[in-house]
Structure formats: structure tokens, C-alpha cells
Amino acid sequence: MVIRERVYRVADLWEISHRPEIDAKRIELVEGVIVMAAAAGAKHGGIALKLGRLVGDFVDEHQLGYATAAETGFILEVNPDGRDTVRAPDVGFIRADRLPDGLPDQYVPLAPDLAVEVVSPYDTASDIHEKVADYLRHGTALVWVAYPKTRTIEAHTSSGSVTLGIDDMLDGGDVLPGFSVKVSEIFKASGN
């Protein structure tokens, strides 16, 4: 669902997303337009949790910074014309040196170093392309997109992308050096 009554700002999104009548589980702001999505399905949730646990455990073990779960808003852009953008990846990671005071109470005021998106049946190819482009354009170094239907993961950086199959290893590159997991392990969470 898209709300286009007017151009919304970051503060508007925060207020609207905390209204009791708003039942969408994910609310993003894309160039001043509020975009709401229904709660994710179980397969989506299982894969997102698996990736979140893997990333979060690795980040904690190596004291690298902060891992976040779905619905955590990241302010990618604040524009004078009001066309602000706040995205909410299924999993996010921010290096500790970028948030020296820790995680804020409201939205994270910058792009994540790693953004992870799990594709839902209602996501279109253009939706996913737009999200990846937004993250990379605003400073995210690595974007993983998990496709449950094909059991593949795309790893995107500013220099290109690669598609990994079920027998391949997903690694953290320069963002999470030393992190790796077999793609098949990620999709076990979905019963595949």
C-alpha cells in the first residue's frame, strides 16, 4: 500500500508508524512517499531470522558493531525538498565506529554497511532493484538479496553483483571479513 496524500518527512514516518491503527509490519519512506507492507510469511521470516542470527552472532563474537532486525529504519536520505528516504532491511549491520554512541532510540541516521533483503512473493523485480540501488547509492557497501523460490542469493556491491546457488559459499567480503556460510544452510530455515 502506498500513501500519497503529500510529501512525508522522516519525523512524519516516525509518528505515523507508531499509530495504533497502522497494522503494517514494515513501513518505509521512499522519496517522501510512505510505502507499507503486510507482515511477512513464515518462510520469509525463517530465512530472515537465520541470516540475522548468523550475522548477529558473527558481529557480536568479533565486536564489529551492531546487527539489526527487520523493521529497523535506516535514514538513507534527507532532502531539502522533503523527499526523504528511510529503508528497513530484513537484517542490517553497522560498524561500531560509525555509531560511537551506540544505536539510537529512533531510526539509524545513516545507511547500513550491510543490508539484507529476503524476497517475498509480493515483491516485484523493480521493487528489489530499487531497494538495492537505494542502499548502494547512499553508501551501503554490501547488499544481500535472498530469493527463497530459487534458493539463490545475490551479493551486490558498488562494483557489481554475483548470484550464488545452493552449493556456493556466501561471504562477508570487506564488510564482514571472515564471515562465510554455505547458501544451503540459509535456506534450511525455510524447510527447503
Q: Where are the domains of the chain?
A: 40-190
pLDDT digits (tens, 9 = 90+) for 95-143: 999 999 999 999 999 999 999 999 988 888 999 999 999 999 999 999 9
H helices present in 62-152, as ranges: 125-137
Residue 13 has pLDDT above 90, yes or no: no
pLDDT digits (tens, 9 = 90+) for 49-105: 999 999 999 999 999 999 999 889 999 999 877 788 999 999 999 999 999 999 999
Q: What are phi and psi of 69, to 5 degrees?
A: -100, 175
Other Cβ atoms less than 10 A from the Cβ of 94: the count is 22
SS3 label, residue 45: helix
CATH superfamily of 40-190: tt1808, chain A (3.90.1570.10)
Task: Name which residue leads in pLDDT, 8 or 180.
Answer: 180
* pLDDT for the residue numbered 4: 52
pTM: 0.89
Q: What are phi and psi of 189, to 5 degrees?
A: -65, -20
C-alpha cell at 67: 546487527
**Owner of C-alpha cell 503529500:** 6
